[in-house]
């Protein structure tokens, strides 16, 4: 008789991918997000129309072969402006997510590993930031520091740094509370007790044992932060307080289109659809990652 085949168990990474692949909406959303990102990154190589080319003979035209997304009130090509603005909107979203995630991990891990005064103090600060009204605070900070950052980093760079810092600095609290809860649970587990008994320092316990096991929920929360940052940037640009008018982010395009909705609805439609599809796809990816990184799921 032939010897029975021994089934080698799949690696944790492969099991995670299998669970994610079962979530069809998450897979479709990942493909859609990849298409959007490739479009804004590689778009200028395929569509070489300048974003500031003005053609008064083609103002407020609908989609056509010459202008697939139509034109605005100055005859500027909306497809070129959507591609340019998409890079800024997505960059703001992911950069603000990194800021919020890093600050949240640091605050949450320090609070989770502390036992006396540090943990209550950090949670008091976290609750304080959670109680602050975010939009009025965003507007106040922008009014106070916009000119200084423009002088330091230039117009576009200064606004980018300011928006990323402000949005990321006001979105770290949910991540911090989540990381703290994970640390409070994991630091009493047997593998951490074993590492502590073998002489591992507190830093080694955090980096080598606790933090890697707490990253699953943090990754899921980070996807939500991306969509929240994109919406926040679009809101600021729509209010005219984000990037200047000559830098066409998706929110700025919506702001410019609001007075022409009756004669040129395409102007707002494409920018609004881009924001909607990006945020929706990121949320579905977060749902898929939540299921894939859940250790209670088998297979």
CATH of the domain at 135: 1.10.3720.10
> Is 5 a domain residue?
no
Question: In 114-154, where does DSSP find H-type helix?
Answer: 118-131, 134-153
Query: At how many degrees (to 10) do helices 24-46 and 265-292 cross?
Result: 130
Eight-state DSSP code of residue 4 = P
Q: Give the predicted TM-score (pTM) of the model.
A: 0.80
Place of tokens 């074993």: 194
Q: CB under 8 Å to 106, separation ≥6 — which residues?
A: none
Distance between CA atoms of residues 52 and 276, nearest Å:
25
In a domain, 6, yes or no: no
CA 36 vs. chain centroid, Å, equals 14
What burial class does residue 159 get, using C-beta atoms within 10 Å of its C-beta: 0-12 exposed, 13-18 middle, 19+ buried?
buried
| Spatial contact of 113 and 202, defined as CB atoms under 8 Å apart | yes
Q: Among the residues of the chain, which ranges form H helices?
A: 12-22, 24-46, 78-113, 118-131, 134-153, 155-169, 173-186, 190-197, 202-205, 211-238, 250-257, 265-292
List, for residues 241-297, the tens digit of each pLDDT value. Answer: 777 777 888 888 888 888 888 888 888 899 889 988 988 898 888 888 877 776 555
Q: Tell me which residue of 90, 141, 130 sits closest to 107, measured CA to CA.
A: 130
Q: Provide CB contacts within 8 A for 72, sequence distance 6+.
A: 59, 60, 78, 81, 256, 257, 264, 267
Asked if 34 and 40 count as a contact pair (C-beta separation under 8 A), the reply is no
Q: What is the domain extent for residue 157? A: 15-47+70-292
Cα separation, 25 vs 285, whole angstroms: 8
Residue 86's φ and ψ, nearest 5 degrees, are: -65, -40
Domain for residue 65, yes or no? Answer: no
Residue 157 located in a structural domain: yes
- Give the pLDDT confidence score for residue 85 in this predicted structure: 87
Which 3 state secondary structure label does DSSP give 131?
helix
Q: Is there a domain that residue 59 lies in?
A: no
* 258: exposed, middle or buried (Cβ count in 10 Å: 0-12, 13-18, 19+): exposed
Q: How many domains does the chain have?
A: 1
Note whether residue 297 is domain-resident: no
- C-alpha 225/C-alpha 103 separation (Å) is 13
Instruction: Quote the tokens at residue 271.
Output: 């920018």
Residue 57 lies in a domain: no
Contact between residue 71 and residue 58 where contact means Cβ atoms under 8 Å apart: yes
Residue 19 lies in a domain: yes
User: Which parts of the chain register pLDDT below 70?
Assistant: 1-12, 155, 294-299
What's the CA gap between 262 and 4, in Å, rounded?
72
Buried b (16+ CB within 10 A) or exposed e, 201-226: eeeebbeebbbeebebbbebbbbbbb
Report which secondary-structure segment, H or E, holds 170. Answer: none
Identify the pLDDT of residue 10.
58
């Amino acid at each position: 008789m032939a010897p029975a085949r021994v089934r080698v168990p799949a690696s944790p990474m492969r099991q995670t991918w299998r669970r994610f692949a079962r979530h069809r909406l998450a897979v479709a959303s990942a493909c859609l997000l990849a298409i959007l990102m490739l479009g804004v990154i590689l778009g200028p190589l395929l569509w070489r129309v300048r974003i500031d080319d003005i053609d008064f003979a083609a103002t407020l035209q609908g989609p056509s072969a010459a202008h697939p997304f139509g034109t605005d009130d100055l005859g500027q090509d909306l497809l070129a402006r959507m591609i340019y603005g998409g890079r800024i909107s997505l960059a703001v979203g992911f950069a603000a997510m990194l800021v919020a995630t890093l600050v949240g991990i640091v605050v949450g891990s320090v609070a989770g590993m502390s036992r006396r005064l540090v943990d209550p103090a950090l949670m008091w600060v976290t609750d304080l930031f959670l109680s602050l009204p975010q939009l009025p605070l965003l507007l106040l900070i922008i009014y106070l520091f916009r000119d200084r950052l423009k002088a330091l980093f230039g117009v576009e760079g200064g606004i980018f740094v300011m928006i990323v810092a402000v949005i990321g600095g006001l979105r770290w609290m949910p991540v911090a509370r989540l990381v703290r809860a994970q640390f409070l649970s994991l630091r009493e587990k047997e593998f951490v007790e074993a590492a502590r008994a073998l002489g591992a320092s507190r830093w080694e316990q955090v980096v080598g044992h606790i933090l890697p096991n707490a990253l699953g929920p943090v990754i899921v929360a980070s996807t939500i932060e991306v969509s929240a940052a994109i919406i926040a940037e679009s809101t600021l640009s729509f209010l005219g307080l984000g990037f200047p008018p000559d830098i066409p982010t998706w929110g700025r395009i919506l702001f410019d289109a609001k007075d022409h909705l009756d004669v040129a609805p395409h102007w707002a439609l494409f920018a609004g659809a881009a924001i909607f599809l990006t945020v929706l796809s990121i949320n579905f990816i977060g749902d898929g990652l939540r299921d894939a990184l859940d250790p209670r799921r088998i297979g």
